Structure 1
Amino acid sequence: MLLGGCRGSPSVPVTVSTNKHKVEVREFSDAVLSCMFHTEREQNPRIEWKKKGKDVSFVYYGGLFRGPFEGRATIQGATVTLQRVTQEDAGEYRCEISAPSDSISLGETNVTLKVLVPPHTPSCEIPSGAVTGSTVQLRCRDQQSIPPATYSWFKDNQPINPPRLQNATYLIDSHTGILEFKAVAKEDTGKYSCRASNGVGPPKMCEGKHMTIEDVNISAVVAGVVVVCLVIAVCGCGGFLLHRNGFFSPGHRGRLSDVLTMSLSSRSNVNYIPPPQEPQDFKHTQSFML
């Protein structure tokens, strides 16, 4: 592999190439971005590396690494090695060779860097309980892994195989991480956990959680419905009888009011005892002469 600037035949102008246009490395490892060139006559071509984005930024310019790459990158010929790359380093890079003495004075090649992230412990949403016959979803998600993780479910530490039949009682989506029970049964009670994997690092599993499936108490539901119906029936019959006897008619309401008034009046007369009168003080109204 030719790493430096070498003069080719006089009929060949500057050419730039790479032996790997797409580079994939794990996070916090080193990434080698290769760049090879030939010049026609130029003895000291200018080497530049740039990173594309919203704005083009310099990686290597004027014989020095710039910005976040300063102090953590090396160059050999025109090939650059980035050390301990992170997601911030992922993107498209361009190697440019300037040869003013050549008939074609500029050549370039592009290299795309993808930084792979191993799975993290996924977040799992597992309900603690449900009733038989209900639809239940268990969710599993790892939002940090690159490439995106795929998911598998376990019950009591045993793998749950994807259903083969269309009328299966449950569904598993390995890409979204959803385990759905169309109608849970008591035998679905158990401890559930989920594993995320993407082939970059070791798989990670969330902590298992127990889900209990219980039957609906039919007797209690029926008894409650019967009691409510009886209360409604009694209230309805009582109201009908009172209305039939004229309890709610204007005349009856007037008579009832008179009776209540008389009762209150008689009670007032019976219970009322006037207070005793105090003796009047004797007052002189006229003087007597002896």
Structure 2
Amino acid sequence: MKMIKVLTMEGRISALILLCLVLSGVGALQVNIPQDSYEYARGDNIILPCSFTPKTPLKETDLVIIKWSDETAEAGAEENRILSYYSLNKQLDITPLYEGRVSLDVDVMKGKADLKLSSITLADNKEFQCSVQIPGDDEGKLADKARLVVLVGPSTPICKIQGKAEYGQNINLTCLSERGSPQPTYKWESRDVKNTPHAADLRTTDKGGSLSLYDISTETSGFYICTSSNKIRSATCSITLSVMPPSTNIGPTARIICGVIATLIILIIVVCCYCKKKKV
């Protein structure tokens, strides 16, 4: 029985604390952005939502000032104003940096202050803040923030062969996209000369876009495809691999032949000179 009483008392205390937290926000301005972060693809036209609830219902004659600003991820970066809106004369001031690509979807009586941003770029990877000012209503949550994450699909990867494609050699097939956010991941697949998928070789390793092939042979020949992908999209490149017999190195042989010929020419010249002197 004592345990039940203790739990009941703890429950009462928890309920009281929760009630205090709820009541602390009552009768005060509350600004809210629903999510902590938003992800969009580069080039998208987007909306960052912001809503606010005043202490008391607003009248048409009440002044409401809405501001949007941004802050880069750099340490110590300053906040930059994007726009300011004044409800009494419905005046909207936009800073030159954002002129032509931002607007405000606003309805003061409904507590709506959404930021519309067009053709986003990687430079828009920032934290955005919505703040509201109402004279006489300066307590509560006056601003809220959210991070905009701009995603970029991987660029068409470049496929290369490192090493000699000859019998018994070890080679690497490399695959790399120069652009992509978040960082792309890579996957290789291959088909033989009969367009049949290659059987998995336990000695083959695939890591970070590099496919390592060991002790290659004619069976290694075929068509190799690399897919670079992230959460936005994917792109591919391909390589045709033809494994050949080792090339014959004729350099030393050619030098030996040239040396023999040069020696013979010198001997002929010496013999001719000797014969002429003997006749004289």
Task: Verify: 1:68 aligned to 2:100, yes or no.
Answer: no
1:170 corresponds to which of 183, 191, 204? 204
Contact 1:153–1:195 (CA under 8 A) maintained in structure 2: yes
Report the 3-state secondary structure (helix = DSSP H, G, I; strand = E; otherwise coil) of the residue aligned with 1:78: strand
**What is the rounded CA distance, in whole Å, between the counterparts of 1:32 and 1:189 in structure 2?**
51
Structure 2: stretches of 5+ with no match in the other structure? 1-24, 86-91, 107-111, 257-276
1:87 corresponds to which of 102, 118, 122? 122
Report the 3-state secondary structure (helix = DSSP H, G, I; strand = E; otherwise coil) of the residue aligned with 2:97: helix
TM-superposed deviation, 1:103: 4.6
Write the letter of the residue equivalent to 1:48: K
Alignment match, 2:50:
35
Q: TM-score, normalised by structure 2?
A: 0.64
TM-superposed deviation, 1:137: 1.2
- C-alpha distance 57-102 of structure 1, shift in aligned 2 (>3 A): same
Matches within 5 A, 1:134-145: 134-145=169-180
Alignment match, 1:49:
68
Write the letter of the residue equivalent to 1:80: L
Task: Verify: 1:96 aligned to 2:116, yes or no.
Answer: no
Write the letter of the residue equivalent to 1:199: K
Report the 3-state secondary structure (helix = DSSP H, G, I; strand = E; otherwise coil) of the residue aligned with 2:219: helix
- Radius of gyration: which is bigger? 1
Contact 1:97–1:106 (CA under 8 A) maintained in structure 2: no
Report the 3-state secondary structure (helix = DSSP H, G, I; strand = E; otherwise coil) of the residue aligned with 1:126: strand
**What is the rounded CA distance, in whole Å, between the counterparts of 1:49 and 1:183 in structure 2?**
61
TM-superposed deviation, 1:186: 2.7
**What is the rounded CA distance, in whole Å, between the counterparts of 1:16 and 1:194 in structure 2?**
48
Alignment match, 1:147:
182
Task: Verify: 1:78 aligned to 2:102, yes or no.
Answer: no
Alignment match, 2:82:
59
Alignment match, 1:118:
153
- C-alpha distance 74-172 of structure 1, shift in aligned 2 (>3 A): same
Structure 1, residues 106-146: CA drift from partner, whole Å, max 9, x if none? Answer: 61111111112223211111248423333211111113222
**What is the rounded CA distance, in whole Å, between the counterparts of 2:198 and 2:98 in structure 1?**
46
Write the letter of the residue equivalent to 1:74: S
Alignment match, 1:189:
221
**What is the rounded CA distance, in whole Å, between the counterparts of 2:67 and 2:175 in structure 1?**
45
Report the 3-state secondary structure (helix = DSSP H, G, I; strand = E; otherwise coil) of the residue aligned with 2:225: strand
TM-superposed deviation, 1:101: 1.1
Alignment match, 1:284:
none
TM-superposed deviation, 1:216: 4.1
TM-superposed deviation, 1:51: 0.7
**What is the rounded CA distance, in whole Å, between the counterparts of 1:68 and 1:178 in structure 2?**
42
- C-alpha distance 158-146 of structure 1, shift in aligned 2 (>3 A): farther
Structure 1, residues 208-232: CA drift from partner, whole Å, max 9, x if none? Answer: 3332323447xx79xx8xxx9xxxx
1:132 corresponds to which of 167, 179, 184? 167
Alignment match, 2:18:
none
- C-alpha distance 138-147 of structure 1, shift in aligned 2 (>3 A): same
Report the 3-state secondary structure (helix = DSSP H, G, I; strand = E; otherwise coil) of the residue aligned with 1:187: helix
**What is the rounded CA distance, in whole Å, between the counterparts of 1:113 and 1:187 in structure 2?**
49
Structure 1, residues 176-221: CA drift from partner, whole Å, max 9, x if none? Answer: 21111133233112232312222323x3212x3332323447xx79
Structure 1: stretches of 5+ with no match in the other structure? 1-9, 229-266, 272-290
Identity of aligned residues (%): 22
Q: Considering only aligned residues, what root-mean-square deviation do their CA atoms show, in Å?
A: 3.4
Report the 3-state secondary structure (helix = DSSP H, G, I; strand = E; otherwise coil) of the residue aligned with 1:115: strand
Task: Verify: 1:213 aligned to 2:232, yes or no.
Answer: no
